Copies of this chain bind each other. A is one copy, B any other.
Amino acid sequence: MMKRNLKYILPVAIALFTACSNNQKMEDPKQQNALTFPQGKKITNENFTGTAYLQMLMDADSLNSISVGNVTFEPGARSKWHSHPSGQILLVTDGVGYYQEKGQSKKTLRKGDAIKCPPNVAHWHGASADTALVQLAITGREKGETIWLEAVSEEEYHASNQ
C-alpha cells in the first residue's frame, strides 16, 4: 500500500518543489541585481582586479554634481586602491564583499549596508572570495574625479577582517 501511495505523492511533491525552487532563483546576487538596476557593461579599464561591471544610473551635470553608478563585482574582484576628492557613499544591494581604508582593518560588507568613504582617503572595495557584490556608488564630482592608486595585493585582499 505504501508503494501505491508514493506513486501519487511523489509527482505532487516534485511539482511543488520545482515551483518553490523557481522562486529561490531571486537569491543569486547577479539575478537580484538584474531585477532592480541593470548590471551594465564589463569594466575594461585598468582600475580593477578581476571582473566587474558598471551601469551609470545618473551622471553628474552642471546643475547636480552627484553621480550614481551600479557596480557588480564577481567573486574575487575588487577595485584598486583609490580616493575621491568629495568622498563617496556605497549602498550594498546584494551579496557579500569587503571595504578597507588605508591604515584600517578590512571590513565585510553585506546587503543593506551603507558606508561613507571620506574625501581623499585611500580605500578599496570589492566582492568576497566566493560571493559577488552589488553596490550603488554615490559620488560627488564637484572637486574632480577619482584618483587611482596601486592594485590590492592578494595578501591585502585575503587579510583577516572585522
Copies of this subunit: 2
Is B89 a contact partner of A66 (Cβ separation < 8 A)? Answer: yes
Asked whether any CB of chain B lies closer than 8 Å to the CB of A23, the reply is yes
Q: A91: CB under 8 A from chain B?
A: yes
Stretch in A6-14, A43-51, A96-104 touching the partner: A6-14
Partner of A63, one of B5, B26, B112, B118: B118
Total chain A interface residues with beta-carbon distance under 8 A:
39
Report the minimum CB–CB distance from A57 to chain B (whole Å). 4
User: Which residues of A does B touch, CB under 8 Å?
Assistant: 4-5, 8-9, 12-13, 16-17, 19-20, 23-24, 26, 35-38, 57-58, 63-66, 68, 86-87, 89, 91, 93-94, 111-112, 114, 116, 118-119, 136, 138, 140
| 22 CB < 8 A contacts A-B | A8-B9, A9-B9, A9-B12, A16-B20, A19-B20, A20-B23, A23-B24, A23-B26, A36-B94, A36-B111, A37-B112, A57-B91, A57-B114, A58-B89, A58-B114, A63-B87, A63-B119, A64-B86, A64-B118, A66-B66, A66-B138, A68-B89
